[in-house]
Structure 1
Amino acid sequence: MRALTKTVVSVTAAVGIAAGSLAVGGTAFADSAQTTKPAVSAQDISVLAVNNLGLSSQQAKNTQCFLRTAPARYTGAIDGLLGTNSWKAMQRWLAEYWDYNDDIDGIVGRNTIMALQRMLRHGWDYNDDIDGIAGTNTKAAFKRFANEMSVFYPC
């Protein structure tokens, strides 16, 4: 019995050591694989970023249809995903009419939200502060805007 116990313990130890070696080897391999990949910039990631600010897919499509008008000049897909190109078009429109004075970069930052709030205050019942925070009331007014765009700018 004692010999069997030693054998089981020895085999278990050998398997544990082998598994540990494989794990370390796998980690080393994974680490070396990561270092050979090119770095991804924030600009590359922003192209994939989608921010519908609470809009449904249909409401986002309504907004994209509106953004096809000048000066927004949106030429992308009407896919219901407000990505970088949709927001660049929105920023162009906000710059033309609603005092947006930042980069046309497609990033939904504080200045973009502030200009959007100024626009929403004009005709979509936004009555809160122009603070650059896309809170509940900003999103609700943006939904009202998007719903109305389906009437005036159908695709």
Structure 2
Amino acid sequence: MDGVPGTRTYAALQHAMRGYGYTGPLDGVPGTNTWKAVQRLASGWGCAGPIDGMMGPNSWRGFARFLNQDRWN
């Protein structure tokens, strides 16, 4: 274990992104469609950028807000 996301991590992400429009294979190879789904999720967390499959700073910031949300309040 080296802490680097691998194919199983990305396959799980693809599975989780089904609710955000990901319809591709659960192959663990993140591509444009995977990142578009992540951007759709991030758009609900402050990302106002385009849904283009290119993860820029705003996309990552929105995704980080989702990941770090306070689930108890």
Q: CA deviation at 1:142?
A: 1.7
Give structure 1 regions of 4+ aligned residues with deviation exceeding 3 angstroms: none
2:10 matches 1:91:
no
Deviations 1:61-104 (A, max 9, x none): xxxxxxxxxxxxxxxx8x75322111111111111x11101111
Distance 1:106 1:112 in 2: 10
TM-score normalised per structure 2? 0.82
Deviations 1:87-137 (A, max 9, x none): 111111111x11101111111210000011111112x11111100001111
Equivalent in the alignment of 2:23: 101
Distance 2:68 2:53 in 1: 22
Larger radius of gyration: 1
TM-score normalised per structure 1? 0.42
2:46 matches 1:125:
yes
Equivalent in the alignment of 2:56: 135
Between the aligned residues of both structures, percent identity stands at 35
CA shift in 2, pair 1:145/1:82, >3 Å: farther
Cα RMSD of the aligned pairs, angstroms, is 1.8
Q: Which segment is superposed worse, 97-106 or 139-148? A: 139-148
Contact 2:41 2:63 in 1 (8 A): no
Q: Partner amino acid for 1:139?
A: W
Q: What are the equivalent positions in structure 2 for 1:45-64 lying under 5 Å apart?
A: none
Length, aligned pairs only: 71
Equivalent in the alignment of 1:145: 66
